[in-house]
């Protein structure tokens, strides 16, 4: 397996008068394999969903189930769309994380969705603990 490259980072610290170097940004992203971009996006969606579900140290401070629903649904759609494009080495832990988020959403909801109607279940089917 090839060594992982450094994470994708764009320096957005320029002052408004300066314009970003889009050519350099394009060269940087051109060197990153598609699988790594997909996995990075998925991990970012998972992290954001966990925050919106109140699963961080700050708990309920950032909890917003409407926002969490959107993020979990987007993650499920991404994983469904890329299932044949990324290896099971990458996909398996992402699917496990998605299921954990779906179960956490169900637990956090005052009125749980019917099986198959929860966030992302359009793509994964009903999720049970």
Do residues 79 and 42 touch, judged by C-beta distance below 8 A? Answer: yes
pLDDT band of 26, cuts 50, 70, 90: confident
Q: Which of 126, 122, 110 is nearest to 65 (CA)?
A: 110
pLDDT of 5 above 60: no
- Angle at alpha carbon of residue 48, lines to 47 and 50, rounded to 5°: 65
What values do phi and psi take at 9, rounded to 5? -135, 130
Number of C-beta neighbours around residue 38 at 10 A? 19
pLDDT digits (tens, 9 = 90+) for 106-124: 999 999 899 999 999 999 9
- Report the pLDDT value the prediction gives residue 13, as an integer from 0 to 100: 55
Average pLDDT over residues 80-93: 94
pLDDT digits (tens, 9 = 90+) for 28-67: 888 899 999 999 999 999 999 999 999 999 888 999 999 9
- Report the pLDDT value the prediction gives residue 8, as an integer from 0 to 100: 55
- Report the pLDDT value the prediction gives residue 65, as an integer from 0 to 100: 97
């Amino acid at each position: 397996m090839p060594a992982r490259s450094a994470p994708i980072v764009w320096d957005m610290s320029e002052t408004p008068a300066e314009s970003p170097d889009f050519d350099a940004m394009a060269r940087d992203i051109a060197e990153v394999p598609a699988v790594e971009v997909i996995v990075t996006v998925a991990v970012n969606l998972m992290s954001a969903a966990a925050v919106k579900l109140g699963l961080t140290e700050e708990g309920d401070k950032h909890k917003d189930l409407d926002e969490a629903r959107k993020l979990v649904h987007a993650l499920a759609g991404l994983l469904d769309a890329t299932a044949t494009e990324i290896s099971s080495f990458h996909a398996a832990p992402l699917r496990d994380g998605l299921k954990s988020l779906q179960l956490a959403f169900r637990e956090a909801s005052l009125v749980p969705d019917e099986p198959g109607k929860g966030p992302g279940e359009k793509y994964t089917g009903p999720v049970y603990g």
